Amino acid sequence: MGRLDNTVAVVTGGASGIGAATAVRLAEEGATVATMDITGGVDYNLDVRDEAAVKDAFADVVARHGRLDSVVHCAGVAGGGPVHLVDESEWDRVVDINLKGTFLVDKHAAIHMLEADRGSIVNIASIEGIEGTEGGSAYNASKGGVIMLTKCMAIDYAHRGIRVNAICPGGIDTPLLMDIIGSPGVEIYRDKMHDRHLMNRFGQPSEIAAAAAFLVSDDASFMTGQAMVVDGGFTAGFRAGLLQQMGLV
């Protein structure tokens, strides 16, 4: 038996990367999974900025399956730069997809979960939502907002049996990250980012999916309002080379 047998889950951003891995993991754990993404190859083609579309998609999931137990919201985009170089349209694009999209998905998930007095929502945030990064601006601001929205929802809905948590991944080997750091001319940035992970590698989407499966399951029944960091040691601190000097590494 799986931890998620007889449950229904929605995964946004389910076409690739963390979302695709999460959909696979939740299904392996026994859940019936409905995937949503703005691209093809999913159950629902969905722009998370479109409230009417989000509302209709969640209503259809409940109509088809009779319930909604969990949502893992993975849909998001990268973007930013020093603020004096960021166009208003770019700021709006990043914040609308990452933060407004989270609000709309969580809102319509919560509406159905309130009918059952139970449910679990997991928002994929980022370590860049808990610490600043060079040129982060729009992206960091949006993911910081996701974390605070998560905490506020946890407070508002705990008494109704709905848990709301976030995951803050470090650098994960996804198409989104590789599009940024795999381009010519950014090798120094890529190597520095890689080396900040104390485990000397980027994470795999399956590792974030495993954390999401835990958070939506009853194994995390006493967890809500948390921003779980899964980052290979990125935010633990920095290595100054002392152990290397001592010949220990």
pLDDT of residue 207: 98
pTM score above 0.85: yes
Residue with token string 């409940």 = 62
Q: Is residue 145 part of a domain?
A: yes
Q: Is residue 95 part of a domain?
A: yes
Show the domain range for 229.
Answer: 8-243
CA-wise closest residue to 12 among 85, 139, 109, 90? 109
Average pLDDT, whole number, for the chain?
94
Catalytic status, residue 44: no
Exposed, middle or buried: residue 111 (CB in 10 Å: 0-12, 13-18, 19+)? middle
Residue 16 banded pLDDT, cuts 50, 70, 90: very high
Number of domains the chain contains: 1
Catalytic residue among 44, 139, 157, 189: 139
Q: Is residue 199 part of a domain?
A: yes
Q: Is residue 67 part of a domain?
A: yes
Q: Flag whether pLDDT at 26 surpasses 80.
A: yes
Q: Is residue 249 part of a domain?
A: no
Q: Is residue 2 part of a domain?
A: no
Alpha-carbon distances of 13 from 100, 115, 127, rounded to whole Å: 15, 25, 19
Q: Is residue 3 part of a domain?
A: no
Say if residues 228 and 211 touch (Cβ distance below 8 Å): yes
Residue 131 banded pLDDT, cuts 50, 70, 90: very high
DSSP-derived secondary structure letter, 220: G
Q: Which amino acid is at 152?
A: C
Report pLDDT digits (tens) over 189-207. 777 787 889 998 999 999 9
DSSP-derived secondary structure letter, 1: -
CATH number of the domain to which 200 belongs: 3.40.50.720
